[in-house]
Amino acid sequence: MAQINPSILSADFARLAEEAKAVEGADWLHVDVMDNHFVPNLTLGVPIVEALSKATDTPLDCHLMIEDADRWAPQYVEAGAGSVTFHVEAAAAPVRLAREIRAKGARASMALKPATPIEPYEDLLPELDMLLIMTVEPGFGGQSFLDIMLPKIRRTRELISKHGLELWLQVDGGVSATTIERCAEAGADVFVAGSAVYGAGDPAAAVRGLRAQADA
């Protein structure tokens, strides 16, 4: 079954606990950490992740869009994240980092920006619990889905099958009622949605609607 992870980036930051509760029933809560260096935007860090993890029963899927991932990612496991995604472009030693995240008790996930190919990382896939293919340039919510990423999603799904891995394949950016079916058809099984969930009148209903579409 498809997993839907609402992105808190599109929520009201002054009411984070309520906004997290508004999507209980979602599989994970996607938390976008940005440092104004790796991406041209600044959001939140370890203390807020720690507070959020106490405010909701939904496990946290932390997406780190930050430099020096090797140094910071383990701290997000300690802060209570159930899954930590680092960008391969920002990690000096991705294998060591993935192992450290797993050893600390979280799911280890690696993200690729749109211009980063999957092929050089084929041999790393067994070290990961999830691979994130960005379907927009990271940094902001509400951008248009990049259809040019569909072949990469398809190729990654083929690699996962070829190696017989349990790896989840996540897509993030511009995922909505009009694009989710294309992503699912290409082989994604975890869907991040920010504006499509928090921009809807009833965020919990939007989650159910997206899940039904992805599973159709």
Annotated binding site for substrate: 7, 63, 139-142, 172-174, 194-195
Phi-psi region of 26 (alpha: psi -120 to 50; beta: other; left: phi over 0): beta
Residues placed in the known binding site: 7, 30, 32, 63, 139-142, 172-174, 194-195
Residue 118 binds ligand DX5 (CB under 6 A): no
Give me the 138-177 binding string for ligand DX5, x by CB under 6 A, dash otherwise: xxxxxx----------------------------xxxx--
Q: Which of 73, 194, 206, 210 binds ligand DX5 (CB under 6 A)?
A: 194
Applying CB under 6 A, the span of 68-76, 114-122, 188-196, 207-215 interacting with ligand DX5 comes to 188-196
Residues 77, 106 contacting (CB under 8 angstroms): yes
- Rounded Cα distance between 73 and 114, Å, is 21
Among residues 7, 43, 85, 170, the one that binds ligand DX5 under rule CB under 6 A? 7
- CB burial string 87-98: b at 16+ within 10 A, e below: bbbbbeebeebb
Is residue 203 involved in binding ligand DX5 (CB under 6 A)? no
Helix-strand-coil split of the chain, %, nearest 5 = 45, 20, 35
Minimum CB–partner distance for residue 119 and ligand DX5 (Å): 23
Per CB under 6 A, 30 contacts ligand DX5: yes
Task: Pick what 116 binds: ligand DX5, Zn ion, none; C-beta below 5 to 8 Å, kind-dependent.
Answer: none
> Residue 110 phi/psi, 5° resolution?
-125, 140
Active-site residue, 172 included:
yes
Q: Of 125, 87, 88, 81, nearest to 106 (Cα)?
A: 81
Q: Measured between alpha carbons, how far is residue 3 from residues 79, 121, 203 in Å?
A: 23, 24, 15
The question of whether 68 is a catalytic residue gets the answer no
Residue of 27, 61, 129, 172 marked active site: 172
Instruction: Write out the residues near ligand DX5 by the rule CB under 6 A.
Output: 7, 9-10, 30, 32, 63, 136, 138-143, 172-175, 192-196
Residues known to be catalytic:
32, 172
